[in-house]
Chain A
Amino acid sequence: MPELSVGQAINNALSLILKEYPNAFIAGEDIGIYGGAFGVTDGLLETFGEERIKDTPIAEDVIAGLAVGAAMTDSKPIVEMQFSDFIVNAMDPIVNQAAKLHFMYGGAVNVPIVVRGASGAGTGAAAQHSQSLESWFCHVPGLKVVTPSNPQNAYDLLLHSFVDPNPVIFMEHKLIYKIKDDVVLNNIPSNSELLGQAKILSEGNDITIVSYSNMVNAVKGAISSDELSEISAELIDLQTLSPLDMQTIITSVSKTKKLLVCQEAPANSSVGSTVISNVVQSDAFSSLSIAPKLVSGLHSPMPSAKHLETTVIPQKEDIMQAIKDMV
């Protein structure tokens, strides 16, 4: 079992896909000789050639649009948005085309595309290169939204996203790329059963903590700190944000009676607020012993200076405080 970083795990998954699916190709900015802005596609050009590793001009609209057209015609595109912020230049092909066509054309076509993008803050890249826009896409029926948090789930979720017959937005937090762990290099699955399944990372009885993407790693840090060693927390990594696996959350909250959600994105109209809203509307409501809480990024664009950036993004200490307040 090789030890891989998240970047390498995704690279392995892409490699496997390209090997097994002759109709698969990758397109994006600087994904060829440069290896991608975060090195994720490193070496793929040498192995698979320019025909399938397609360096594009800086033109996100056509990158996403070509994926839609190619997918409707039996190709299997995976496209990269160099920073997921630039996906806003590709909103029409994703939101008005990819998400709608299957339904709008009465099921006559599928649009199985994967749009990968580097999301999140923490690198001092400032307001236009640090956003967590995942909830925008959760709001659009027809799209699936996936957010890995570690090497193994990055590998598996990408394979499952690839075989899913729907358009999938796959958001990779920049700070997880270098996280390393042993990875089982599973084969390409026959269906996308992993999408829509949350994962319980640690079982506990005192509080349910729901998180996703890199914030899962901050929560892990918080609950494994000595200060909180007495507290038994159940940590759930959502993995897929749309569709949401509410059942796993509701079952857990019914047991622990407390719900804390942690995310990097701002709170308004977000994944976390949806999770809480769903729990409050569910049978688990009556088992809640205190009001659920959402720890989120501030409602502010991301500043560039380090001390201001860490003010906007929830830190391990903020999560620890929230847990202490609740338990």
Chain B
Amino acid sequence: MSVTKDTQLELHRMMMLIRLFEEALEEMFSRGLLHGTMHLSIGQEATAAGACLALDKKDLITSTHRGHGHCLGKGADPYKMFAELLGREDGYCRGRGGSMHIADLSNGNLGANGIVAGSLTISVGAALSFQLQKKENIVLCFFGDGAVNEGSFHEALNLASLWNLPVLFLCENNQYGMSMASEKAVAGESIASRGHSYGIESIQIDGNDVEAVYESVSTCKDEILSNNRPKFIEAVTYRYRGHSKSDRNLYRTSEEINFWKDEKDPIKRYIGKLLEQGITEVDLKEIDEEVKNTIRTSVKKALDSPLSPITNLEEDSYA
């Protein structure tokens, strides 16, 4: 399968959008504009961009606490995301969710989740709906390497396999769950091998190679729909920033972080590849400028927008 030039530019654009979105958040945080903490996916953009762009709008995703990239990948409006983090009325959750809980149903994002492995069983339920409703769509369930040790991970995989549900389990293995190295936390051969235990075809891929992610997810989606079987992808990647805003990074070396930044950065690598394939610096510059502009105007608009009004929150708690 070859990726068209348009798709290539779109993959680059999406990775840039995610990176600049989160860099803007960091900046706002340091200026004291944001209440609470946040989990940045800087360094992991290829997985979110590659996976989400391989889906249709009607395919669903479930996301994690580190979910800004998934949300943008699925087509969310950065303005409404900034507004959410700033507690504004125009935010996706009207200031009730914040960084860790953005849902964007209109674009097929069932929501980020603050509970590790919290979305795995939800994705199974959504896939069951697709099966019952005879829809030709899949649910892509994002989760981290830390989630694979929770009981609900195992319950979800088992049932998805037994019932032949259209789920693509996508583990973003950034090699740490907070301070815990996945090699110290995950018994057995590999994370992908856990899929095999439940009879689910599973592969491990380079999560920092955006085209590899895009192609794997596209292929998996086709196979899920033609064979009526779930699939499992372990995408190996790396987070540059601390786990959240309070991380002192004592559990890893700066050499390790710098190695990934210098040698494996998904955006840098992809730019190199695109230039080799005849896409010009001018093409890329145009995209980058457009993304910068989007971020700049979205931040400004969000800061100028009204706070979420204090409504009757007890009434809001029920449908």
Binding site for B on A (CB under 8 A): 29-30, 32-35, 37, 55, 57-62, 85-86, 89, 123-129, 298-301, 303-309, 311-312
Nearest CB in chain A: distance from B84 CB, A = 8
Binding site for A on B (CB under 8 A): 34-37, 86-87, 93, 95-101, 113-118, 146-147, 149-152, 177-180, 184-186, 246-248, 250-251, 307-308, 310, 313-314, 316-317
Which of A37, A57, A124 interacts with B36 by CB under 8 Å?
A124
- In the assembled complex, which residues on chain B have CB atoms less than 8 Å from the CB atom of A29? 177-178, 180
Can you sample 11 A-B contacts with CB below 8 Å? Answer: A30-B179, A34-B178, A57-B186, A61-B150, A125-B37, A126-B97, A300-B313, A304-B97, A305-B35, A306-B87, A311-B310
Which of A32, A123, A126, A308 interacts with B101 by CB under 8 Å?
A126
Q: Are B95 and A312 in contact (CB under 8 A)?
A: no
Q: Are A123 and B36 in contact (CB under 8 A)?
A: yes
Instruction: Give the CA-CA distance A60 to B316 in the complex, in Å.
Output: 30
Instruction: Give the CA-CA distance A307 to B307 in the complex, in Å.
Output: 9
Instruction: Give the CA-CA distance A126 to B39 in the complex, in Å.
Output: 14
Nearest CB in chain B: distance from A92 CB, A = 10
Instruction: Give the CA-CA distance A312 to B116 in the complex, in Å.
Output: 25
- In the assembled complex, which residues on chain B have CB atoms less than 8 Å from the CB atom of A89? 115, 150-152
Residue of A nearest to B84 (CB): A304
- In the assembled complex, which residues on chain A have CB atoms less than 8 Å from the CB atom of B37? 123-125
Instruction: Give the CA-CA distance A55 to B178 in the complex, in Å.
Output: 11
- In the assembled complex, which residues on chain B have CB atoms less than 8 Å from the CB atom of A312? 313
Q: Are A304 and B87 in contact (CB under 8 A)?
A: yes
Interface centre among A62, A301, A305, A307 (most CB of B within 10 A): A305
Interface centre among B86, B146, B178, B246 (most CB of A within 10 A): B178
Instruction: Give the CA-CA distance A184 to B5 in the complex, in Å.
Output: 70
Q: Knowing A127-B101, A306-B35, A308-B96, say if A300 contacts B314 (CB, 8 Å).
A: yes
Q: Knowing A123-B36, A299-B317, say if A304 contacts B101 (CB, 8 Å).
A: yes
Nearest CB in chain B: distance from A142 CB, A = 23
Q: Are A307 and B87 in contact (CB under 8 A)?
A: yes
- In the assembled complex, which residues on chain B have CB atoms less than 8 Å from the CB atom of A299? 314, 317
Q: Knowing A37-B246, A59-B150, A305-B307, say if A298 contacts B35 (CB, 8 Å).
A: no
Q: Are A86 and B178 in contact (CB under 8 A)?
A: no
Instruction: Give the CA-CA distance A80 to B138 in the complex, in Å.
Output: 37
- In the assembled complex, which residues on chain A have CB atoms less than 8 Å from the CB atom of B179? 30, 32-34, 55
Q: Knowing A30-B178, A34-B251, A124-B35, say if A304 contacts B98 (CB, 8 Å).
A: yes
Instruction: Give the CA-CA distance A125 to B101 in the complex, in Å.
Output: 10
